Amino acid sequence: MTTAQTGFFNSPAPEPLNTIPPKKRIFSYDNQYFEDPGPQYSPEEVMRLLARTYPALENGSWTSRTLADGSEEITFVKVAGEKR
């Protein structure tokens, strides 16, 4: 008696067992809060987007902290440059 065995690579992909929803992100700059444009954007990309409206962020930096509810607050700060 022989039994056919299905190959691993010929089997349909199983559904993921656990999908973790992306963490809620809150962006802030100069005491203003901004909606998250989506998890596909890095904090640097969001800062570049905001720099179109707030030119001081063109050379800015950012910090991040986790709030009590598990969301992430990302704060943008302008970096003072040298005058020549």
Structure confidence at residue 23 (pLDDT): 82
Quote the pLDDT of residue 80: 80
**Cα-Cα-Cα-Cα dihedral of 56, 62, 68, 69, to 10°?**
80
Angle (CA) 45 48 52, round 5°: 145
CA distance 6 to 9: 9
Output the six-digit token pair for 38. 């989506």
Domains and CATH numbers, the chain: 19-77 (3.10.20)
For residue 43, pLDDT over 60 is answered with yes
The pLDDT tens digits for 49-78 are: 999 999 999 999 999 999 999 999 999 999
Q: State if pTM tops 0.75.
A: no
